[in-house]
Amino acid sequence: MDKQDIQRLLEEVRAGNLSVARAIEQLRHMPYEDLGFAKIDHHRSLRQGFAEVIYAKGKTPRQVVAIARGMLLPRTAHNILITRADAAIYRAVHRLNRHAKFHPLSGAIGIRRNTENVGKGVVLVVAAGTSDIPVAEEAAVTAETMGNRVESLYDVGVAGLHRLLHHHEKIAAARVIVCVAGMEGALPSVVAGLVAVPVIAVPTSIGYGASFGGLAALLAMLNSCASNVCVVNIDNGFGGGYVASVINRL
The answer to the question of residue 141 lying near its own copies (CB under 8 A) is no
Neighbours of 120 (CB within 10 A): 13
CB closer to its own copies out of 100 and 243: 243
3-state secondary structure of 25: helix
Write out the binding residues for its own copies, residues 44-73 only, by CB under 8 A: 44, 46-47, 50, 53, 58
CB closer to its own copies out of 7 and 115: 7
> Which distant-in-sequence residues (6+ apart) come within 8 Å of 168 by Cβ?
194
Give all strands (DSSP E) within 105-231, no chain letters: 108-111, 122-127, 149-154, 176-181, 199-203, 229-231
Write out the binding residues for its own copies, residues 174-213 only, by CB under 8 A: 175-176, 182-186, 189-190, 192-198, 200, 203, 205, 207-213
CB closer to its own copies out of 96 and 215: 215
Q: Cβ of residue 71: shortest distance to its own copies, in angstroms?
A: 16
Q: Cβ of residue 88: shortest distance to its own copies, in angstroms?
A: 20
Give all strands (DSSP E) within 43-96, no chain letters: 52-55, 80-83
The answer to the question of residue 76 lying near its own copies (CB under 8 A) is no
Secondary structure element (H or E) that encloses residue 137, with its range? helix 133-145
Dihedral pair phi/psi, residue 200, rounded to 5°: -95, 115
Q: Cβ of residue 18: shortest distance to its own copies, in angstroms?
A: 9
Select the span of 1-9, 72-80, 87-95, 105-113 touching its own copies (CB under 8 A).
Answer: 1-9
The answer to the question of residue 105 lying near its own copies (CB under 8 A) is no
Calculate the dihedral angle through the C-alpha atoms of 169, 170, 172, 177, rounding to the nearest 10 degrees: -160
Q: Cβ of residue 191: shortest distance to its own copies, in angstroms?
A: 9
Q: Smallest Cα–Cα separation from 111: which of 173, 69, 152?
A: 69
CA distance 114 to 44: 17
The answer to the question of residue 31 lying near its own copies (CB under 8 A) is yes
CB closer to its own copies out of 76 and 227: 227
CB closer to its own copies out of 95 and 166: 166
The answer to the question of residue 108 lying near its own copies (CB under 8 A) is no
